[in-house]
A and B are shown apart, each in its own frame.
Chain A
Amino acid sequence: MALDTVKNAQENPDALQPYKELGLKEDEYASIKEILGRRPTSSELAMYSVMWSEHCSYKSSKIHLKQFGEKAVKTDALLVGIGENAGVVDVGQGYAVTFKIESHNHPSYIEPYQGAATGVGGIVRDILTMGARPIAVMDPLRFGDPENPDTRRVLPGIVSGIGGYGNCLGLPNIGGEIVFDDTYQGNPLVNALCVGVMKHSDIKLATAHGAGNLVVLFGAKTGGDGIGGVSVLASETFSDSKPTKRPAVQVGDPFAEKVLIECSLEIFAEDLVVGIQDLGGAGLSCATSELASAGSGGMDIRLETVPLRDPSLSPEEILMSESQERMCAIVEPVKLKRFMQICKKWDVTATVIGEVTTGTRLNITFNGELIVDVPPRTVAHDGPVYNRPISVPKYLESLKAVDVPLPSTPEEITAAIVKLMSAPNMADKTWVTNQYDRYVQGNTVLSQPEDSGVIRIDTKTNLGVAISTDANARWSYLNPYEGAKLALLESCRNIATNGAKPLAVTNCLNFGSPEDPEVMWQFSETVRGLADACLELGLPVTGGNVSFYNQTGSVAILPTPVIGVLGVVDDVTKRTPMGIKPNQEIYVVGKVDDNFSGSEWAYIHGKQIGDHSPVADLDMEQRLIKFLLEGQSIFDAAHDVSNGGFAASIAEMVLRTNVGATITLEGNVAAELLAETPGRVVVAIDESNTNAIVALAGKYQIPINHVGATGGNSLTINGGALSIDELRAANTGVLEKLFG
Chain B
Amino acid sequence: MRIGVVTFPGSLDDRSALRAIELAGGTPVPLFHGTNDLKEVQAVVLPGGFSYGDYLRCGAISRFSPIMESIILAAEHGFPVLGICNGFQILCESHLLPGALTRNADLHFICADQRVSVENTDTPWTRGYTKGQEIVIPIKNGEGSFQCSDETLQELEDEGRVVLRYVGKNPNGSRNSIAGISNKRGNVVGVMPHPEQAIEHLTGPSEDGLNFFSSILKEMVGR
Contacts and interface: CB of A to CB of B under 8 A. Distances in A.
Interface of A: 160, 163-164, 167-170, 253-256, 258-259, 262, 345-347, 433-445, 456, 459, 572-573, 740
A435 B53 contact: no
Chain A binding surface, main DSSP class: mixed
Given A439-B197, A442-B16, A442-B197, A258 B108 contact: no
A440 B203 contact: no
Given A442-B16, A573-B202, A254 B196 contact: no
A160 B108 contact: yes
A168 B110 contact: no
Contact of A259 (B10, B34, B194, B204): B10
Q: Chain A CB within 10 Å — which of B34, B138, B197 has the most?
A: B197
B138 to A, nearest CB: 5
Interface string B30-65: 000010000000000000111011110000000000
B16 A259 contact: no
B50 A439 contact: no
Given A170-B49, A255-B55, A444-B203, A439 B138 contact: yes
B10 A440 contact: no
Contact of B111 (A169, A254, A438): A438
A533 B29 CA distance: 50
A169 B49 CA distance: 9
B140 A439 contact: yes
B28 to A, nearest CB: 13
B203 A456 contact: yes
B19 interface: yes
Interface residues on B, range: 20 to 34
Contacts of B52: 255
B18 to A, nearest CB: 10
A84 to B, nearest CB: 27
Given A346-B9, A347-B9, A445 B16 contact: no
B65 to A, nearest CB: 12
Which of B53, B142, B196, B202 is the most central at the interface, judged by chain A CB atoms within 10 Å of its CB?
Answer: B202
Nearest to B7: A262
Given A437-B140, A438-B111, A456-B203, 17 more contacts: A163-B109, A168-B12, A170-B49, A255-B10, A258-B10, A258-B53, A262-B9, A346-B9, A434-B108, A434-B111, A439-B140, A439-B203, A440-B13, A442-B15, A442-B197, A572-B202, A740-B106
A573 B203 CA distance: 10
17 contacts: A164-B109, A168-B50, A170-B12, A170-B13, A254-B53, A255-B55, A259-B9, A259-B10, A433-B111, A434-B108, A437-B109, A437-B140, A441-B15, A441-B16, A442-B16, A442-B19, A459-B19
A437 B13 CA distance: 11
A345 B32 CA distance: 10
Contact of A167 (B109, B197, B203, B204): B109
A347 B138 CA distance: 31
Contacts of A258: 9-10, 12, 50, 53
Interface of chain B: mostly helix, strand, loop or mixed: loop
A168 B13 contact: no
A132 to B, nearest CB: 16
B105 interface: no
Interface string B175-214: 0000000000000000000101101001110000000000
A456 B50 contact: no
Contacts of B110: 434-435
B111 A435 contact: yes
Nearest 5 Cβ contacts at the A-B interface: A255-B53, A170-B12, A442-B16, A439-B197, A168-B50
B92 to A, nearest CB: 20
B112 interface: yes
Contacts of B50: 167-168, 254-255, 258
Given A168-B53, A347-B9, A442 B109 contact: no
Given A255-B55, A440-B140, A573-B202, A168 B10 contact: yes
Contacts of A170: 12-13, 49
Given A167-B140, A255-B10, A259-B10, A439 B53 contact: no
B38 to A, nearest CB: 19
Interface string B62-102: 00000000000000000000000000000000000000000
Nearest to A168: B50
Given A346-B9, A443-B203, A435 B16 contact: no
Given A167-B140, A442-B19, A160 B49 contact: no
Nearest to A431: B108
Contacts of B15: 441-442
B37 to A, nearest CB: 14
A366 to B, nearest CB: 32
Contacts of A443: 203
Nearest to B32: A345
A439 B9 contact: no
Contacts of B202: 445, 456, 572-573
Contacts of B12: 168-170, 258, 440-441
A251 B203 CA distance: 33
B196 A255 contact: no
Contacts of A436: 109, 111
A167 B86 CA distance: 13
B205 to A, nearest CB: 9
A6 B207 CA distance: 67
- Tell which of B9, B50, B111 has the most Cβ of chain A within 10 Å: B111
Contacts of A439: 111, 138, 140, 194, 197, 203-204
Interface in B96-143: 106, 108-112, 138, 140, 142
Nearest to A444: B203
A434 B171 CA distance: 12
A105 B91 CA distance: 40
Nearest to A254: B53
A572 B203 CA distance: 10
B217 to A, nearest CB: 19
A163 B108 CA distance: 10
B203 A442 contact: yes
Contacts of B204: 439, 442
A161 to B, nearest CB: 11
A347 B52 CA distance: 11
